[in-house]
Amino acid sequence: MQYTKLGKSGMTVSKVCLGTMHFGGPTSEEDAFAIMDKALEMGIQFFDTANVYGGDGGKGKSEEIIGKWFASRSGSRDQVVLATKVYNPMATGEVPNEDRGISAYKVQKHLTDSLRRLQTDHIDLYQVHHIDRRVTAEEFWGTFDRVINDGKVLYMGSSNFPGWGLAKHQMEALQRGSMGFISEQTMYSLLCRMPELEVLPAAEEFGIGVIPYMPLAGGLLTGKKTSVTGSRTAAVEGEYGIYLGDTNEQMAAFSELCQQIGEKEHVVAIAWTLAHPAVASPIVGVRTVNHLEGLDRAAELVLDDETLAKLDAIFDINRGRPLRTGKPAPEAYAW
C-alpha cells in the first residue's frame, strides 16, 4: 500500500480509503468484520463512515459495527485513521434541532453519539457532510474549534462543498487562527469531472486533500458488461443516463485500453483519480471482501501521459457542451 499526507496536515493516510456506507445494509456485521480485517492486512488504514450510514440496519449502524470491530480487535483503533460525518438528521420525523445543518447544540449531541457508537474517545477526521448556508462563521468554527480543543476531534474536513464554500470557510478559519479543513469529499470519477472546474483547484490552493467518493461510478467503471436489476450499478445507470451492454462504445473503448496496458478497469479508474495533484485518497465503498482485490495496485499505479490523454478522449464530457475539460475555472468555460 502507498501512503500520503492528508492535505496540509501531518497525518498519514493510505492512498485508498475504505468506505463503509454499506455496513449494516447489504453488508452484514460478519462480512464487515472480514472486510476491515483484510483491509488493515493490505495496509488500508483510512476508514470512512458517517453517522447516518446503516442501510436497513438503521442510521448509526455503520458506526456501531466499526465500534464493535475496534472492541474485538486489540490495538486496531490505534492503527486506523477514522473519519465520520455530521450534518444530516438522526431522528425520524420533525424534531427540533434535528433538521439538516450545523449548530453547536446539534454537533455536541451527534458527536457524543458517534463516539459512543464507535467506542472511541476521539475522531481523527470529523467531516461536515454538506454545506450549511445559514450558519455563521462564529458558530461554525467556534463549535469545531471547541471540540478540537477538547480532544474529541483531531482534524476537520468537508464533504459536498462547492469551490466557493471551501474558500469562504477556509478564509474564515485562517482569520481565527485555525487550521480549517484538511480534506474535502467530492464525487469524482472518469464519468463525473465537474469538480475539476472549481472544487479541485480550490482544494489544491488551500491545502485541502480531496477524498473522491464513487471513483468507480457505482460499478460502471469496473468492466461489467451488464448490471443486475435492483443493484447499485443499475441505479447509477439511471442516474448517469449511461447503460452497460454491447452497444456502449465508450465502455468498450475503456476496457480495450485497460487490456492494452495490462490493468483491470477498476484499478485504472481509481489510479486516474489519484493522478490529479489535489487528490489524496479515493474512497471505495466495499460490500464484500472480494471488492478489495486490486486496490493496492490502484494505489501504486502511475498512469503515463499517453494513457491519461487516451482516457480524456474516451471520457470527454465536452460533447455538445461549451466546456473544456482538463482546464480549471474560468479557463474551462471562458476565454
Range of the domain at 78: 3-225+266-305
Report the pLDDT averaged over residues 18-25: 95
Per-residue model confidence (pLDDT) at position 126:
98
Please tell me whether residue 182 adopts helix, strand or coil conformation: strand
Query: What's residue 321's pLDDT?
Result: 46
Report the distance separating Cα 309 and Cα 315, nearest Å.
10
Total H helices, total E strands in the chain: 12, 10
Q: Is residue 319 assigned to a domain? A: no
Q: How far apart are CA 268 and CA 263, in angstroms?
A: 7
* φ, ψ at 125 (rounded to 5°): -135, 110
Annotated catalytic, 53?
Answer: yes
The CATH number covering residue 145 comes to: 3.20.20.100
The structure's pTM equals: 0.91
Which pLDDT does position 199 carry in this prediction? 94
pLDDT of 75 > 80? The answer is: yes
Distance, in Å, from the CA atom of 124 to the CA atom of 84, rounded to the nearest integer, reads: 8
Q: What is the mean pLDDT of residues 270-289?
A: 96
pLDDT band for 293, please (50, 70, 90 cuts): very high
Q: What is the model's pLDDT at position 320?
A: 42
Which pLDDT belongs to residue 248? Answer: 87
Residue 236 lies in a domain: no
pLDDT exceeds cutoff 80 at 173: yes
The answer to whether 13 touches 45, Cβ cutoff 8 Å, is: yes
Phi, psi (degrees; rounded to nearest 5) at 95? -120, 130
Residue 238 lies in a domain: no
Range with lowest mean pLDDT among 24-28, 103-107, 158-162, 322-326: 322-326
Residue-wise pLDDT tens digits, 45-60: 999 999 999 988 799 9
Tell me which of 53, 87, 155, 188 is the catalytic residue. 53
For residues 214 and 40, give the distance between their C-alpha atoms in angstroms, rounded to a whole number. Answer: 21
5 pairs with which residues across the strands?
12
Contact present, 189 and 212 (Cβ < 8 Å): yes
As a whole-number percent, the residues of the chain with pLDDT over 90 amount to 78
Q: Is 305 exposed, middle or buried (0-12, 13-18, 19+ CB in 10 A)?
A: exposed
Least confident of 69-73, 144-148, 189-193, 299-303: 189-193
Burial of residue 136 (CB within 10 Å: 0-12, 13-18, 19+) is exposed
DSSP code, position 292: G
321 within domain boundaries: no
Q: For residue 327, tell me if it sits in a domain.
A: no
Whether 8 is in a domain gets the answer: yes
- What's the confidence (pLDDT) of residue 333? 67
- Check pLDDT > 90 for residue 242: no
Total domains in the chain come to 1
Domain-embedded: residue 45: yes
